[in-house]
Amino acid sequence: MAQQERAIRTRRAVIEAAAQVFAEYGYAAATVSDILKVANVTKGALYFHFDSKEALARGIIEAQAQQALPAQDVKLQEWVDQGLLIAHLLPRDPVIRAGAVLSSDPLGREHYGSAWPALIDRSALALAEAKERGEILGHIMPRQTAELLAASFHGVQLFSQLESGMADIEHRVSVLYEHLMPTIALPAVLARLDLAPDRGARLYAQAEATATQQPAAVG
């Protein structure tokens, strides 16, 4: 195994361990030594990648903000896909789940930031592009709608956590888009949108298949 690949794996193991510890104890109570125990790497290896608890939280937040998605003919579908993919990943991927918890923690504003500003910027940009292409209604203001989606999505996620431990989140997020999109999309575009609860699972399966076909040029 090449050194670069080993470094990527170590970094990922540390991020996953930190996600688990932050999710269990919360940011304030978690310690780097808790994370070391779970990650099963040396202290030196951990500190090579992340020099503090804040840096670990920032690493998780960056991973949350970096979900890549395939381009679609309808730009508005890409906007929807972002949320449906996260809804699929939240109950399955501890790093995404920890990222959501850390991003909404008021402590983060002082210590490590939040994925929300980057996610909202990207979301507003996609809406602005959809508007230029004539896909969305004229009165929609991209940033306002992007902030509303972020806030509502967060609430739906907390509600699903309380009601079902996140088991129904894909359904609830699909219901959210079903309620929002008729107000946002032109009718002809609305008819072409896929808002189904299993859309996120299909996007994830596609991304996995693509990754298998194109192995990274390392090793």
> According to CB under 8 A, which residues from 118 to 177 bind a second copy?
144-145, 147-148, 150-162, 172, 175-176
> Which residue lies nearer to a second copy by CB, 32 or 130?
130
> Which residue lies nearer to a second copy by CB, 11 or 154?
154
> According to CB under 8 A, which residues from 179 to 218 bind a second copy?
179-180, 182-184
Least Cβ distance, residue 37 to a second copy (angstroms): 26
What's the token pair of residue 19?
Answer: 């996600």
Q: What DSSP state is assigned to residue 185?
A: B
What's the token pair of residue 182?
Answer: 């008729």
> From residue 73 to residue 112, what is the string marking binding to a second copy with x (rule CB under 8 A)?
-------------------------------x-x--x---
CA distances from 183 to 75, 92, 144, 177, 195 (A): 16, 31, 13, 10, 14
Residue 138 β-bridge partners: none
Distance in angstroms (rounded) separating the CA atoms of residues 145 and 147: 5
Q: What DSSP state is assigned to residue 68?
A: -
> Which residue lies nearer to a second copy by CB, 147 or 194?
147
Which parts of this chain interact with a second copy (CB under 8 A)? 104, 106, 109, 144-145, 147-148, 150-162, 172, 175-176, 178-180, 182-184
